[in-house]
Amino acid sequence: MTLLSSIHPVERFLLTDAVRSVAWSATDRLIALGADGRARIDSANELTAPIGPDPIGCCWVTVDRVAVVDGALGVMVAGGGSVDVVPIDGALGVSPLAVVPDEVDGEGGDGVTRQRYCAAFGRDGLTVIHPDQDGRRPPTTIDTGPIRLARHAGGAIWLTGGADGLSVVDVSLACVDQRVELPGVVSLAVAQRVGRVIAADSRGVIHMLELSDLADGYGVDGYPDAVRLVDIAPDGGLFAACTDDEVTWWTVSDAGEVADQPQCSVGHDAPITACAIGSRGFLATGDHQGVVRLWSSRLRDLPVGVLQLDGEITVLSWSATGDRLAVGSTAGEVVVAELEAGEMV
């Protein structure tokens, strides 16, 4: 058996502070945001001016506009020569709506899907921002209670996590559709295509739930502490959890059945600080010493690729196609690597 998958750096550049967040647009544009608030977009030679004093995260909201969430200021939507500030108290994150059916924003009807809004989340709940409405449509906040995590689950549905557990939020109706009580959600991932949810709680239990029936889930326990790094493949066929230096992943059948035995590997020599599964099924993990390893679910004990950066790995983000991986570190280094997936021979 030979696996010829490999990963090659194709671009490397430096920010002026640690990399806080990286985000791909639907058209493969990249923004890298530094801890000093300066960002680099695509291959521009210059960084932006500081967007905020306490940047937390960023995302693309239209093909040419980005949103940056800042602890002190709220959400800034920038691009096209303007910056709009949405002052949200206690904002913690911002996520794009990758694909929006027209009925959500009430326009069109031509069957074309577009990016139309982003959702910021934090102490006040989920705030829907319409960045391309030129102020005609003010942000609306859905009172979900305080939330620390939010993931888009497809269509108008969002999953949110907080101290009281999980909530399913319907943005089109501006209401909480369902709640699942858990003792504090510390990490959350959603496979949009199949409506599968991975949520880790503060007791160290990882829950796999189906959006169609949140009451009936699968639990993985035995972790002594909360698992802060989880992810699931976009097709829902693989999910992974990282604690300390160990990577563990589980395969899931089309019927939603989790394999009896997890694939487990002592993956790193230092604590793992980031993980992400791309749409081609590869898992990337990064650690405190700047090592990035690429794992195939078909090969349990050996990474199929390794990258080395300076500083702790802070972010890992796959492009929508799963062909490119953006990596950031505390030294401000950003590496874009291309995946070449091999075949079983």
Partner 1 sequence: MVVPVTVIASTRPAERLLRHVDRDRVTVVGRRSTAHHPDARHVVASGRFVVSEPEVYFRSPGCPCCAVREDLVDALVRATRRAELPERIVVFVDLDDEDLLIAISTILSSFEIIRRCALDHVVLDVDAVELSTRVAIGLPVVDDRLLSAISVADRIVIDQQEQVTDDARGAVSAALLSRSGFGSIVGSGTPVVGGAASTEAWHGAPDARSIVGDHDQPSTIVLRVDEPLDPDAIDEWLDALVTGHASRLLRIQAALSVAGHEDRTCCYGVRSFATSHSEIEHVDRRSTESVVVICGIGLDADELWTSFRATVAT
Judged by the rule CB under 8 A, the positions of this chain that interact with partner 1 are: 16-18, 20, 35-37, 50, 53-54, 56, 71-72, 89-90, 92, 122-123, 146, 148, 162-163, 183-184, 186, 202-203, 225-226, 228, 244, 271, 288, 311-312, 314, 330-332
Rounded-to-10 torsion of CA 202, 203, 205, 211:
-50
Angle at 270 (CA atoms; ends 265, 272), nearest 5 degrees: 65
Backbone angles phi, psi at 209, to 5 degrees: -130, 150
Closer CB to partner 1, 53 or 80, in the complex: 53
Q: Which residue in this structure is represented by tokens 């794009």?
A: 96
Closer CB to partner 1, 76 or 211, in the complex: 76
Give least dist CB 53 to partner 1, A. Answer: 5
DSSP assigned state of 259: P
SS3 assignment for 6-62: EEEEEEEEECCCCEEEEEECCCCCEEEEECCCCEEECCCCCCCCCCCCCEEEEEECC
Closer CB to partner 1, 296 or 314, in the complex: 314
Q: Which residue in this structure is represented by tokens 């504090």?
A: 184
Please name the helix (run of DSSP H) or strand (run of DSSP E) that holds residue 118, with its range, or none: strand 118-122
Give least dist CB 58 to partner 1, A. Answer: 14
Closer CB to partner 1, 16 or 253, in the complex: 16
Closer CB to partner 1, 54 or 213, in the complex: 54
The residues, any chain, with a CB within 8 Å of residue 95's CB and separated by 6 or more, are: 59, 118, 119, 121, 150, 151, 152
Closer CB to partner 1, 223 or 295, in the complex: 223
Residue 174 is which amino acid?
Answer: A
Q: Which two tokens stand for residue 326?
A: 């953006």
Residue 27 is which amino acid?
Answer: T
Closer CB to partner 1, 192 or 273, in the complex: 273
Give least dist CB 68 to partner 1, A. Answer: 14
Give least dist CB 204 to partner 1, A. Answer: 9
The residues, any chain, with a CB within 8 Å of residue 133's CB and separated by 6 or more, are: none
Give least dist CB 56 to partner 1, A. Answer: 7
Backbone angles phi, psi at 145, to 5 degrees: 85, 170
Closer CB to partner 1, 123 or 137, in the complex: 123
Output b/e per residue, 35-68; b: 16+ Cβ within 10 A. bbbbbbbeeeeebbeebbeebbbbbbbbeebbbb
Give least dist CB 311 to partner 1, A. Answer: 7
Which spans in the chain are helix H?
Answer: 102-105
Give least dist CB 16 to partner 1, A. Answer: 8
